[in-house]
Structure 1
Amino acid sequence: MTQTPSPAAAPSSEPPLKRTPLHAAHLRAGARMVPFGGWDMPVQYAGVKAEHDAVRSRAGVFDVSHMGEFRITGPEALSFLQSVTTNDVGKLRPGRAHYNWLPGEAGGLVDDIYIYMVATDEYLMVVNASNIDKDWTHLQKHAAGHDVTLTNESDRWALLAVQGPRAAELLQPFSDTDLAAKKKNAYFAARLFGFDVMLARTGYTGEDGFEVFVEASEAETLWDKLLAIGITPAGLGARDTLRLEAGFPLYGHEFSDTIHPLSSTYSWVVKDKEHLGRAHISAAPPQKLIGLKLERVPMREGYPVYAGDVQVGHVTSGSSSPTLGHPIAMALVDAAHAGADTFEVEVRGKRHAAVRVELPFYRGA
């Protein structure tokens, strides 16, 4: 019997998903993969709660190799960075890092970033995965007139985040460096399992830990060694619940090119200096970011928030908190209503009472 061939599927207009150097390792570990910012990423392995709890109680490891890395060098590297960021890069010293913002020209943020000072006249900037191309274009535009060289090293590096209260203890036998002596935001060269890496005592979970910069070609072997000593692989699902409990903003949710960044609790990131977009950031924000909790019903991004009969905002990030045992959310609400103690959140057409709580929801030891 002959069969009529099926019509060829219409070509997709979407570009193929990018893969990190650890893609094969995720599949071996049984990860459930999902699209995220143009990348094929693991959302979970054993389950979000198990991975979340492992990071809170011991240590987990995340693949964050989709993040972008830009190297900024030259005699005017510092003055350039001072002009395009809000935090004071001049206070950094070699081997130190800090959180920073790339402000837009007309309000909002181009991105929120981390800057690592490598040496005099040399810095490394880590940017969000979905913003790599946008950030690169933005920085190149504003580098004109500065004696500075920008190099996009995003394909060179894999980035692994080992997070949890026992992170330093578990890594120490396999490193040549006294990890316990390194303070928060330290950035330093080290040997780890025989590999030359750069370590930063930074993270996005509310726990202690290290982010490991390793050559992409060596990442899979290093990942396997971390799992072999009992560090739990963790996916995007746990990363999101952990950062939400810690009150950390996520670009595209709490920050964007249209959201006033001082709506957040991060006013300390803006220092008194000349920088791009200063006039817009100096204006009072029309909204404020607040924390909310419900007794039972989970809140999700986009759910309306009410004060009485008036919608005053919306949920930017929400989930059930594995650590606290109840639903939590961050919400952008009109500044005039931000001080209220109670609100209502509309969930699938029904309103539920919500209580305002201070951010962060959880503080690590």
Structure 2
Amino acid sequence: MELKTPLYDAHVKAGGKIVPFGGYLLPVQYEAGVIKEHMAVRTQAGLFDVSHMGEVLCEGKDALANLQMILTNNFDNMVDGQARYSPMCNEDGGTVDDLIVYKKSDEHYFIVVNAANKDKDYQWMLAHQFGEVTFTDVSEHYAQLALQGPKAMEILKKLTAEENIPKKYYHAVFDTEVAGIPCIISKTGYTGEDGVELYLDSADAEKMWDILLENGKEEGLIPCGLGARDTLRMEAAMPLYGHEMDDTVSPLETGLGFAVKMAKEDFIGKAALEDKKAPQRKRIGLKVTGRGIIREHQDVFKDGCKIGITTSGTHCPYLGYPIAMALVEEGTAEIGDKLEAEVRGRKVEAEVVALPFYKRSK
């Protein structure tokens, strides 16, 4: 039985097409459609309900030591209010999940995990905790809204004082407000655009949703669903758990080496990653040059030999052509190479291109 986010009724009222995703019932699109929603985020602004994501508190004298061991990134040089992305590995070096850690204070961290992995992640943390630390799943208490796009900040500044908005990317302001509603404002997102994610009490979610949409009308703000969230993150080449990574794919193979600090004294999975020496696979970008759209789980060939498999693929509204990401054997594909993917028994041509496919101009 799928759960409903606090905004379920608002989605139905707005004409959202509801589908099951990550254990929740969520809108895949609204009446405007995926293409218009995607373009609104790239050129104006879009509002997403991401309340299905999970939130876990990590508190206590040994909170930092636990994060250092359980996660691959390094957290000992963070300032209060800073956010940091990190994979979480198993003992074999595969990826349990990828998540974001916010530092509220030396003994208080706020962790955001993927919806479908929420329970798995929480149990993993509990199973590996040590010393004076408490992990608490607080997901039910929080709603999360993502206001994204080049006009996002204009809209937000109508509703809160400038000092409440984080100045830097991957920073957050705790215990603040938007339109008088208590929340956390985080300068993060999953679209490749400027914007914020707001964490607030579930009971206030619908009120905040309505206020944002009303105040963003002049800037072209529209509600956006899972469809546009996926096409936007794909243009920005942002990996998605269960696609570009899973329990069998290491963060080094999927291009997340920047968030794996091998110089750290230890973390779960470090020994396995060291044993493997260099990664055996790598994530690449494909621009489809033939006819057709390449989706996930399509075999990828070079000169007739299979070298890997696609992990995500779609037609990108802003770029105007189809793209895909793939995991291929290390050393088999370089930028500019011509490859093929097998789509329903037919080979579709593609060219290896640099990631990300799309990068916003500052």
Task: Identify whether the pair has TM-score above 0.5, normalized to the shorter chain.
Answer: yes
Counterpart position of 1:100: 86
Deviations 1:67-116 (A, max 9, x none): 00000010110011001111111121111101111111122111000000
Partner SS, residue 240 of structure 1: helix
Percent of aligned positions with the same letter in both sequences? Answer: 45
2:62 maps to what in 1? 76
Matching residue's letter, 1:82: Q
Cα deviation per residue 1:288-323 (whole Å; 9 max; x = unaligned)?
110001134111011111011211111100000111
| Letter in structure 1 aligned against 2:285 | G
The CA distance in 2 between the partners of 1:358 and 1:155, in whole Å, is 39
Whole-Å separation in 2 of the counterparts to 1:31 and 1:86 = 38
1:322 aligns with 2:314: no
- In the alignment, what sits opposite 1:346? 342
Question: Cα offset for 1:177?
Answer: 3.4
AA of the residue aligned to 1:235: G
Question: What is the DSSP-based 3-state SS (H/G/I as helix, E as strand, rest coil) of the residue aligned with 1:352?
Answer: strand
Contact 1:261 1:281 in 2 (8 A): no
Aligned to 1:220: 206
Map of 1:184 onto structure 2: 169
After alignment, is 258-267 or 157-166 more displaced? 258-267
**1:248 is matched with which residue: 238, 242, 247?**
238
**1:347 & 1:174 partners in 2: Cα distance?**
48
Tell me the residue number matched to 1:261.
251
Instruction: Quote the Cα distance in structure 2 between the aligned partners of 1:69 and 1:127.
Output: 6
Any residues of structure 2 matched to 1:263-278 within 5 Å, and which? 263-271=253-261, 272-273=263-264, 274-278=266-270
Determine which of 233, 239, 264 is the counterpart of 2:229: 239
Query: After superposition, what is the alpha-carbon deviation per residue over 1:250-295, rounded to whole angstroms, capped at 9, x for unaligned?
Result: 0000010001221122211011111111022232221111000113
Contact 2:171 2:186 in 1 (8 A): yes
Deviation at 1:338, TM superposition (A): 2.6
TM-score if structure 2 supplies the norm length? 0.94
8 Å CA contact 1:78, 1:90 repeated in 2: yes
Asked if residue 65 in structure 1 is aligned to residue 75 in structure 2, the reply is no
Larger Rg: 1
Counterparts of 1:181 and 1:21, CA distance in 2:
26
In structure 2, distance between residues paired with 1:173 and 1:137: 41
Cα separation, 2, equivalents of 1:191 and 1:176? 9
Residue in structure 2 matched with residue 30 of structure 1 by the alignment: 15
State the SS of the aligned residue for 1:360: coil
* Matched length: 349
TM-superposed deviation, 1:181: 6.1
Alignment of structure 1 residues 94-243 onto 2, 5 Å: 94-143=80-129, 145-178=130-163, 182-189=167-174, 190-229=176-215, 230=217, 231-243=221-233
The question of 1:291 aligning with 2:277 is answered no
User: Where does residue 13 of structure 1 map in the other structure?
Assistant: none
Q: Secondary structure at the match of 2:4?
A: coil
In 1: Cα distance, 2:166 partner to 2:210 partner: 26
1:44 aligns with 2:29: yes
Which residue identity lines up with residue 243 of structure 2 in the other structure?
H
The question of whether the paired residues in 2 share the 8 Å contact of 1:164 and 1:209 is answered with yes
CA distance in 2, matches of 1:32, 1:108: 35
Letter in structure 2 aligned against 1:251: Y
CA RMSD of aligned residues (A): 1.2
**CA gap 1:265/1:349 in 2 versus in 1, 3 angstroms:** same
Structure 2 unaligned blocks of 5 or more:
none
How far the C-alpha of 1:179 sits from its partner, in A, is: 5.9
Letter in 2 for 1:187: A
CA distance in 2, matches of 1:179, 1:169: 14
Query: Where does residue 356 of structure 2 map in the other structure?
Result: 360
Q: Secondary structure, in 3 states, of the residue corresponding to 1:260?
A: coil
Contact 2:101 2:109 in 1 (8 A): yes
Q: SS of the residue aligned with 1:160?
A: strand
Letter in 2 for 1:114: I
Determine the C-alpha separation between the residues in 2 that align with 1:181 and 1:151: 26
- Work out whether residues 168 and 179 of structure 1, in 8 Å CA contact, stay in contact via their aligned partners in 2: no
Deviation sequence 1:107-166 (CA, Å, 0-9, x none):
2111000000011210000000000111111000111x3210111100000000101011
Offset at 1:342? Answer: 1.2
